[in-house]
Amino acid sequence: MAFEIEKATERIIRQLYNNGDTDKASLSALRSAATIDGYRAQKVWPVFLSNLDEQWLSKNGKATREEAAIFAAVRMYALHQQASDSCVFGRRNYSDKKDEETNSRELFEALNCLKQGTDSHEALDRRVQALLGTNNYNAVIDQLVHLMQIIKSKKTGIKIDYARLAGDLYKFQFGYRQANEVRLRWGEQYYRAFKKLDTNQQ
């Protein structure tokens, strides 16, 4: 299921970016809409809902796990995209060793790179620690918004795999064990030592 979630997220993001002819109105609505059922989110419903499998759609007016995860990931993309003319989304290709030389990373790998590129990373560490310390989904989303503001302010050339983020957020909602597995992956990505990327690459 996570793979299908990721593919749908990728379709939505690529449609919003539209090869550089960005749907600015929808991105603006996404940035200001906390949830898919919010009034401002209605602007993006045509793009968003048309790309979801019918079985993922709400039957009672309450957002499904699929809707919540994909919407949150696309919203994070919209927050990040505001700082760049070039697309900030890229799929992380683990089967290609050359991907280690590119600027396409999962979110917490990108935060790791950002941490390496600054002398003062205490604020970033605090935000990440607060996120990793909770298994409340809404609290995680709130912390992700704060982290996206930090990423946006740095104007790096790193592309982030928001499709994979959607898959992680989907899994996170299934319970304590699944949330712990996701948090461990994120923690490993943020704290491990790996090759530093050139954050000035465009």
pLDDT digits (tens, 9 = 90+) for 49-66: 999 999 999 999 999 999
Alpha helix (H) ranges present in the chain? 2-17, 24-32, 45-50, 65-81, 107-116, 122-132, 137-154, 162-172, 176-191
The pTM score is 0.90
Residue 1 has a pLDDT of 80
- Output the pLDDT for position 153: 86
Q: Tell me the domain boundaries of the chain.
A: 2-191
Those residues of the chain that have pLDDT short of 50 are 99, 101, 199-202
Res 95: pLDDT? 62
Check residue 186 and give its pLDDT: 98
CATH class of this structure's domain 2-191: mainly alpha
Question: What is the per-residue pLDDT across 93-131, written as a single tens digit (0 to 9) for each?
Answer: 766 555 454 578 999 999 998 888 666 688 899 999 999
